[in-house]
Structure 1
């Protein structure tokens, strides 16, 4: 401890501070200086030593009495080894184990992130095991167009144990699918007692496209044609997810539901780099709902002249009562 500094000075509180004020001051400083959060281990040890004394009613009373008589208890002082880091198995490491397990200043949210962490900085370190931090997760919304071509997003998330905000650039690959997962190593929760950080798992939520539907890397779409085009045949220009246009030749007599396949015109395959799925085009024959008088007359004549039996299979099973 720096010369002339009391435990009250270290925590930045007055000698008349309440237990609640002492806990609050310790919490803020611990967030800032915790070693697993990149803080100063020596400083963390110092504030931990101060808190151990001032949070204990009996020890605080003895400490105040020493101050009254001009003493400076603490590391290297009259009480060094009684209140300092050399307190042994019953020292501040035990108290921190209690605090970080949810019985002290930080509660259950902090307990899972820092249980046993204080012991690593003091005499109780031998009892603490290095433990990897937990994984964190978040979801990124991606438009259908961006999912086809790939996009980057800057996202900010919170580390539960310290409350700090961290920002990361998420690279959504071309061909991303709804529910796909991206894992970023060592960007999750901090580890305990020197353990490595957990991972950050990002789930992509891809919005639906008004025209294209996804089946993995394959893309499906419906192309409407009129009953006349289906009967006589036609050529249709079809857009692709990649922004190109392909020409589809619809043969005469094409029925609704007929599918045409265009290889490597779908979405990039995120599971197999360098591959692209197919574009599957399904024909939907549209029957006009409002006919002019001339159209109705023409259709009537066509119907009367048509001698095909379109319901041959159905008629086989007609009841003969």
Structure 2
């Protein structure tokens, strides 16, 4: 609950007595809301502010729990007692030295006191990062895919809702760090060091009667399955960060992140070199020698036509632009096509005759002559 509420007289704003019934409060609100609604007085800033105050008063007084809390705190505030503070006995300083008893834990530690005393409630803590792995086919890694991932992380205990305390009890604010979760110690020189509190281990709270599930830590292992989108073009061994998909935070702290290590299965035809895809295609001896136009498969697409020039040597690589993996900027890399010139074996009679004719046509030309020249 907001501290500013205790400084306002909601009963006076609605024009009802402090012992007014719920029905009387509703009637008063309806009449005032009708008279001061912005639609009834367009452009009237004063009426708009009046309407906001009326709505705020009704939101508190129409709720039995909020009204009870408001009445109790108004009584304390008006008597000069100020807002409640953490006492050394472990309870919160309500009249008579009693503890809160009936308040919800989240209100007790934060909402009741508002921003002015936030350091006396449990500090917000970021959730832990979670690591997991995913194995993808080569095709899914290139095109992107949504996969179900089951993760186990340390999250607020479902039994005590993260308080660490047994049902019916609440933790007390740590007297050592006054609920901040941190302590300052001198280093023996000019500097002081701030570190997690030794007593509450950084929680800002001390549990006297611990929850039997989490043993007072407020955290417990939790498993969940989520659908995770793996972006197109992911590489084998790449680590993907998914912000806010890790373990849940504590006391309003942000969630941790999820890190997914990706393993990509190999493909029977295609490989990868950076963002470029690679493929080796067989080319007949005559196609390499005389030139040809051949069809080359692509991944998840129609084949491309490749012109092999006459005299193409074995191992030459050609480039088919835009047929590779997606890049981070949205463009596509290339497909690198390497030719593998095949030597026919065994030779048919006609093939042997043709090769012998080729040998005769070379007229004893030695392709290694340049290597051996002067070395004999």
TM-score clears 0.5 = yes
Residue deviations 1:267-286 (CA, integer Å, cap 9, x gap): 211x212x110111111111
Does 2:370 correspond to 1:313?
A: yes
Deviation at 1:225, TM superposition (A): 0.6
Residues 143-222 of structure 1 correspond to what in structure 2 (within 5 A)? 143-161=137-155, 162-222=220-280
Q: Return the alpha-carbon distance in structure 1 between the equivalents of residues 225 and 361 of structure 2.
A: 72
Does 2:347 correspond to 1:291?
A: yes
What secondary structure sits across from 2:236 in the alignment? coil
What secondary structure sits across from 2:263 in the alignment? strand
Q: Which of residues 287, 295, 300 in structure 2 aligns to 1:229?
A: 287
Contact 2:152–2:223 (Cα < 8 Å) also in 1: yes
Where does residue 278 of structure 1 map in the other structure? Answer: 334
What secondary structure sits across from 1:267 in the alignment? coil
What secondary structure sits across from 2:375 in the alignment? coil
Residues 64-213 of structure 1 correspond to what in structure 2 (within 5 A)? 85=91, 126=120, 129-161=123-155, 162-213=220-271
Greater share of helix residues, 1 or 2? 1
Contact 2:126–2:255 (Cα < 8 Å) also in 1: yes
Q: Which has the higher contact order (CA 8 A, sep 6+)?
A: 2
Range with greater deviation from structure 2 (299-308 or 212-221): 299-308
Q: Return the alpha-carbon distance in structure 1 between the equivalents of residues 133 and 231 of structure 2.
A: 15
Does 2:234 correspond to 1:240?
A: no
Contact 1:148–1:176 (Cα < 8 Å) also in 2: yes
What secondary structure sits across from 2:301 in the alignment? coil
Residue deviations 1:122-181 (CA, integer Å, cap 9, x gap): xxx849643322211111111111122221112121113522212221112222222233
- State the TM-score, normalized to the length of structure 1: 0.57
Contact 2:295–2:305 (Cα < 8 Å) also in 1: yes
What secondary structure sits across from 2:277 in the alignment? strand
State the Cα RMSD in Å. 3.2
Q: For the pair shown, which has the larger CA radius of gyration, 1 or 2?
A: 2
Deviating beyond 6 angstroms after TM superposition, the runs of 4 or more aligned structure 1 residues are: 81-84
Flag structure 1 segments of 5+ consecutive residues without an equivalent. 1-80, 88-119
Contact 1:242–1:266 (Cα < 8 Å) also in 2: no
Does 2:322 correspond to 1:264?
A: yes
- State the TM-score, normalized to the length of structure 2: 0.49
Flag structure 2 segments of 5+ consecutive residues without an equivalent. 1-86, 94-108, 111-118, 156-219
What secondary structure sits across from 1:244 in the alignment? strand
Where does residue 252 of structure 1 map in the other structure? Answer: 310
Deviation at 1:83, TM superposition (A): 8.5
